Amino acid sequence: MGGNRKEKIYYERGTEDLKKKNIRAHKLIKEFNHVEVEEDGKREEIIRNLFGSVGNNPSIEHNFHCDLGYNIHVGNDFYAGYNCTILDMAEVRIGDNCMLGPNGGIYTAGHSLESTGRNNSGFAIPIKIGNDVWIGGSCVILAGVDIGENSVVAAGSVVTKDVPANVVVAGNPAKILRSL
């Protein structure tokens, strides 16, 4: 675990390098979101080109979005429901057998609380999600969070701090409800 010990990665918005990376990702995302539903092979091929690494049997529903793509690493049997957004300015590592409900958001990115320069730059902190995690619909996982294996994040939760293994969390901010 240890979201607080993770190092912030700083970036400048609007640089030529970042624009190129975004354009690459957005072209693949547009292609993915317009593939016919029954063309599973084509959808998987695009995800394998977009993500940094992908295990066996990935399944991602339409209306997927991300920043760069190559910072996303998913294990075997990953599932993401409709309208998933992963802001991957830093690495997002998701283990095997993980499910993300519809309207889920995983956000490594953040911005300064100071208004000066807020629109020009940002920071990102990696996120790690262990094996066998279920994240319910309309959940948000914020920068720097680690979620331990076998845990469940109840629908509508906002996860602002690390979640240990084998627990159910819920709420805004998410708090442990019980052990599994």
Q: Is the pLDDT of residue 1 over 90?
A: no
Which amino acid type is present at position 78? F
Cβ-Cβ contacts under 8 Å for 12 (sequence gap 6 or more): 18, 120, 121
Kindly provide the residue ranges of all beta strands, DSSP E only, lying in 16-157, ordered along the sequence.
53-54, 59-60, 65-66, 72-74, 79-80, 85-87, 92-94, 99-100, 105-107, 109-110, 121-124, 127-129, 134-135, 140-141, 146-147, 152-153
Catalytic positions: 111
pLDDT for 3: 42
**How many Å is the maximal CA-CA distance in the chain?**
48
Residue 126, preceding bond cis, omega within 30 degrees? Answer: no
Per-residue pLDDT tens over the stretch 124-172: 999 999 999 999 999 999 999 999 999 999 999 999 999 999 999 999 9
The closest of 138, 50, 57, 132 to 95, measured between CA atoms, is 132
Q: Is the pLDDT of residue 2 over 50?
A: no
Per-residue pLDDT tens over the stretch 19-78: 999 999 999 999 999 999 899 999 999 999 999 999 999 999 999 999 999 999 999 999
Prediction pTM value: 0.94
* Class at the top of the CATH hierarchy for domain 6-179: mainly beta
Task: Let me know: does 89 contact 9? Beta carbons within 8 Å.
Answer: yes
